[in-house]
Structure 1
Amino acid sequence: MAPEPEGGGDAAPGPSDRRRGRDESPEERADRMWVDLLQELRVAQTGVQILFGVLFIAVFQPAFTDLGDTDRALYVTAVVLGAASAGSLIGPVSLHRMVAGHRIKPQTVVIAARMARTGLLLLAVTTVLTLLMLLRVAVDDTLAAWLAGAVGVWLFTLWFALPLWARRHYTSRE
């Protein structure tokens, strides 16, 4: 999950943040959070690259011409959402490049974290759609839907529900 200011929410780090945790200025904190975000994006982008690679190769396979309308629609949707996911996960780099030197690093981190969350959501949906498309070839449609749905629930739990629970559970209330 993309870094957020301690205490939750998307507010930019402010002077009151020095009371908690690390003794760092808002700019130092933004620099640290930016480095953390870049490390997280590197991991996510690897997943996007692998998944996108599979999708790109699939269209050139001889069996692709035999796919029905439903599977083609799943494929097109997965490719489009995969491209949107890649854009959202690469977007923070462009954002940073465009605003570097303008003294808005704390705000940049907040915007980039939102882009990363959006990219992760799109990646999860792309993964589920790709899995559904592949499983429809291997097993019956009902089982494919159940398995893809189970993976979707698992990804949502790991990527969104658990981090939100941890943030609420382990963040002290002030």
Structure 2
Amino acid sequence: MAPARQASEGRHESAEERADRRWNELLQEVRVAQTGVQILFGFLLTVVFTPRFATLGPTERAIYVVTLCLGAAATGALVGPVAFHRFVTGQHIKPETVVWASRLTIVGLVLLLATVTSAFLLILRVALHDSAVPWIVSGLVVWFLLCWFALPAWARHRYAARK
């Protein structure tokens, strides 16, 4: 085996090959999240122009503004890896680019969770006017936390012993 090659997670690849593989995997993941956040954000941008918006109370308007800001921030974080890569291409820092893009993606997912939660809260407040709304929204947050963070963290911990 050549000295520049290393065994990493069962693969024999150089640091550059590993960075290329991880970058491609990250891009596939980000594409899914980007599509979702862009559709959600686009929808949020149109809400203010509907007739129903004028009838919202101050609390619902405040929730809308927070939701819109969270959606913009999530969009920025999830599009960030593309801009980051474009600005540093050719600088021979692919491994570092992957690390920073991964961090931006995680921030984007957290912001997407907050955006979805806030949008869900707004919609349920308008639709139900019910004391069950906080419980329903809390249940959704727990579900997302389980699916997006707890289950992957558990799997990472559970199967780390195999290495």
Instruction: Give the TM-score normalised by the residue count of structure 1.
Output: 0.87
Give the one of 55, 60, 63 matched to 2:52. 63
Distance in 2, Cα, partners of 1:92 & 1:20: 24
> After superposition, where does 1:121-140 map in structure 2 within 5 Å?
121-140=110-129
Question: Paired residue for 2:160?
Answer: 171
User: Which has the higher mean CA deviation after the structures are superposed, 131-140 or 141-150?
Assistant: 141-150
1:54 deviates by: 2.0
Question: Paired residue for 1:8?
Answer: none
Q: Which runs of 5+ in 1 are unaligned?
A: 1-14
Distance in 2, Cα, partners of 1:18 & 1:167: 19
Distance in 2, Cα, partners of 1:19 & 1:99: 25
Question: Paired residue for 1:110?
Answer: 99
Question: Paired residue for 2:16?
Answer: 27
Instruction: Give the TM-score normalised by the residue count of structure 2.
Output: 0.92
Asked which structure has the greater CA Rg, the reply is: 2
Aligned partner letter, 2:113: A
1:173 deviates by: 6.7
1:141 deviates by: 3.8
Considering only aligned residues, what root-mean-square deviation do their CA atoms show, in Å? Answer: 1.6
Distance in 1, Cα, partners of 2:8 & 2:76: 36
Distance in 2, Cα, partners of 1:144 & 1:91: 33
Name the structure, 1 or 2, with higher relative contact order (CA <8 Å, separation 6+): 1
Q: How many residues align?
A: 160
Q: Does 1:93 align with 2:86?
A: no
